[in-house]
Amino acid sequence: MSKCGRKKYIKTNLRQMTMETIESQQDGSVTDSVAESESAHMQTQTGQNSVPTLAQVATIAETDESAESEGVIDSHKRREILSRRPSYRKILNELSSDVPGVPKIEEEKPEEEGTPPNIATMAVPTSIYQTSTGQYTATGDMPTYQIRAPTTALPQGVVMAASPGSLHSPQQLAEEATRKRELRLMKNREAAKECRRRKKEYVKCLESRVAVLEVQNKKLIEELETLKDICSPKTD
DNA sequence: TACGTCCAACGTCAAGGTCA
DNA sequence: TGACCTTGACGTTGGACGTA
């Protein structure tokens, strides 16, 4: 790890520890604005009760504090409380059905739909890079890393097509497990990218909606003032 | 120019959600 | 019910930018 990288690693850990300390002392309030908007949205738009609101989170946290004398919320518990929310696509699509003008997050690209599921849909990057930590990335913007050429012309998933019943030796089973893991990681990699893209789109949409609502609010206030002026009796 | 800081993006893990 | 999907959390990285 480079010096800068190590420094950032230490800094990140310190920041994380600091955040945990702060959060444990803030009545369980959430500092993440995205999570805040999502929770608030969940309460107002979908009406689902599976995800606690901010107030509920705070209440739960306070209850925990009373239970734990030190007042330190277990990070795992917080994670359980805050972890699950509906997908951005779902939230936004529900929102768009309620409010005209709110764009929907589009479904998967047609080119992906045109391919068979699972194995054949695996998108294999043209260039796969291996980082210094052994990670792989397909961004293509890291020239300092050596290019790791694909071992075969076919996606790895194609090899996965072999039926498990044909595997006998422990070595074959191990290879199969490794391939399954690599396939899962690759799929999850792509899913994470897509998820982040949706999240950005979702946040943009919320921001634009805030702007629209602010304008509407301003207009209504002005209208109210005008009506007040009209309706109020003249004193002189 | 070296260094520090911030930020965006990434890969991975874990856990809840969804669906056949 | 198991396989797969989705997404928050975490750790890591590189680039941009300010500063001494």
Residue A97 · residue A109 · CB < 8 Å: no
List C-alpha distances in Å: A120 to A99, A128, A159. Answer: 38, 19, 11
HSE of A146, CA atoms in CB hemisphere, 13 A = 5
Nucleotide closest to residue A190 (CA–C1'): B11
In this complex, the answer to whether residue A148 has its CB under 7 A from any atom of chain B, a nucleic strand, is no
Residue ranges of E strands in chain A: 128-130, 136-137, 147-148
AA letter at A233: P
In this complex, the answer to whether residue A191 has its CB under 7 A from any atom of chain C, a nucleic strand, is yes
Q: How far is the CA of A187 from the C1' of C5 (A)?
A: 10
Per-residue pLDDT of chain A (236 residues; tens, 9 = 90+): 333 333 333 333 333 333 333 333 333 333 333 333 333 333 333 333 333 333 333 333 333 333 333 333 333 343 333 333 445 555 555 555 554 444 444 443 333 333 333 333 333 333 333 333 333 333 333 322 222 323 222 333 333 333 444 556 777 777 777 888 888 888 888 888 888 888 888 888 888 888 899 999 999 999 999 999 998 766 56
Nucleotide closest to residue A134 (CA–C1'): B11
Q: What is the pLDDT of residue A185?
A: 87
In this complex, the answer to whether residue A216 has its CB under 7 A from any atom of chain C, a nucleic strand, is no
Scanning the structure block, which residue is given the tokens 């943009």?
A204
Name the residue among A15, A36, A27, A31 with its Cα closest to residue A72: A27
Chain A residues 85-124 within 7 Å (CB) of strand C: 85-90, 117-118
Q: What is the pLDDT of residue A225?
A: 95
DSSP bridge partners of A148 = A128
Residue A136 · residue A130 · CB < 8 Å: yes
In this complex, the answer to whether residue A176 has its CB under 7 A from any atom of chain C, a nucleic strand, is no
A102-122 burial by CB neighbour count: b if 16+ within 10 A, else e?
beebeeeeeeeeeeeeebebb
CA distance A138 to A128: 5
In this complex, the answer to whether residue A11 has its CB under 7 A from any atom of chain C, a nucleic strand, is no
A217 token code pair: 């609010």
In this complex, the answer to whether residue A6 has its CB under 7 A from any atom of chain B, a nucleic strand, is no
In this complex, the answer to whether residue A131 has its CB under 7 A from any atom of chain C, a nucleic strand, is yes
Q: What is the pLDDT of residue A227?
A: 95
CA distance A115 to A182: 20
In this complex, the answer to whether residue A16 has its CB under 7 A from any atom of chain C, a nucleic strand, is yes
Which residues have CB under 8 Å from A80's CB, separation 6+?
none
CA distance A85 to A42: 8
Q: What is the largest CA-CA distance in chain A?
A: 102
